[in-house]
Amino acid sequence: MRYWLGGIGALCLAGVMATNAHAQIDYNAIQIVTDKLGSNLYILSGSAGADQNHQDAAGGRIGVLAGPDGVLMVDSQYGQISGKVLAAVRRISTAPIKVLVNTHIHIDHTGGNAFFAKQGALIFAREELREEMLHPPAPGQPRDPAGLPNVTYGLGAPLTINMDGETVDFIPVRAAHTGGDTIVRFRNANVIMIGDFYRNFGYPFIDIANGGSLQGMLDGLDMTMKLAGPDTKLVPGHGTIINRNDLIPYRDMIIAISDRVRQMVKSGASLQQVVAAKPTAAFDAKTSGGLLPAGTAGTSADRFVAELYQELKTTK
C-alpha cells in the first residue's frame, strides 16, 4: 500500500507495569532532548532519571520528519508530557502534524495519540495494535477514543508514504515485542526506528499478554539485519543508537538464555527455581540496566526469564 501526502492538508506483566508506571514517573522533571539524524529527520528523547521503568531516558523515542508537506511523527510518548513534546516539535517545524505512526501499543509510545490526533494527525498502526487498544488484556486507564489508529495494516507488504522528500516504510513485524509491532524505515536518511524488540538498556521485554513471542522477536531481529545496510542508523525505543552488527550479539544472547531456560523447563523446574538459577548471569555485567527494577516483576533480568519460562512452558 502506498500513500503520497504532499498534497493533503508475563503473567500479564504488561498490565501490571502499565498500572504501576505512573507512580514511578516524575513527569514534571522530564525534558525533551532533540537529536538530528538526517537533513529533515529528528529524534526526540525524554531526559534520564525521571522514569523508573526507563532510567536511561524517560519513555520511548519519537521520530519527527519535517518539511513542506507537513510533519510525520513516529510514536507519541506519555500523554502527560504531550505539551512538552509538541513544543519540541514546534522548535523543529511549524508545519501541520499530519501523520503519526505507532511502533507498538505501550503507553510510553502511544500515550500522546489522542493529543496529537486533536492537532490534526492521522494515526497509522497495525490492525493488532488497534484491537489491543480496544480490548486490553488487563484492566488499566481507559483510552481516549481519539487516540485509536485511523489507518491500519496487517502482516503483508509495507505501507509506504512519500512525504517531505523522504520515502517512509511502515514495515510490519510478526509478533515480537508485542503482537502489533512496526519497523519504520526512512530510506533517504538511512535510518530505521525499530521500536522495542531491540533494546540495549535492560533485558528484552516479550509482552506475551499483548501478543509478543520469542520466535517473533528473533524473526524481527533477522528482518532488521536484512533491511539495514552497513551505515544504517538503528534507533531503538530505549537505549543507544546502533548499527546492524550490534544486533548479532543481542540475538545470540537471547538464544543462549532461552536455551538455558528451555533445558530447565524440560527438567520440570518451577518458575521460582528457574529465576533463582540466574540464567542471565553470564550477560549481567555487560547488559546496562539489566539488574535494575522492572515494575513488580523484579529486575529486568527476572522479568525476561519469567517471560521465557511462561512461553516455553506453554510450548514445550
Cβ 159 vs Cβ 5: under 8 Å: no
The pLDDT-based confidence of 143 (bands split at 50, 70, 90) is confident
- For residue 51, pLDDT over 70 is answered with yes
pTM for the full model?
A: 0.92
Task: Determine how many CB atoms are found less than 10 A away from the CB of residue 292.
Answer: 17
Boundaries of every domain in the chain: 2-245
Q: pLDDT for 205-224, tens place per residue? A: 999 999 999 999 999 999 99
Please check whether the domain covering 2-245 is classified as CATH 3.30.360.10: no
Q: pLDDT for 31-43, tens place per residue? A: 999 999 999 999 9
Name the more confident of 171 and 7.
171
**N-term to C-term CA, the chain:** 38
In whole angstroms, how far apart are CA 163 and each of 6, 38, 64, 121, 167? 6, 14, 12, 14, 7
**Cα distance between residue 49 and residue 69, in whole Å:** 36
Q: 43 in helix, strand or coil? A: strand
Name the more confident of 278 and 19.
278
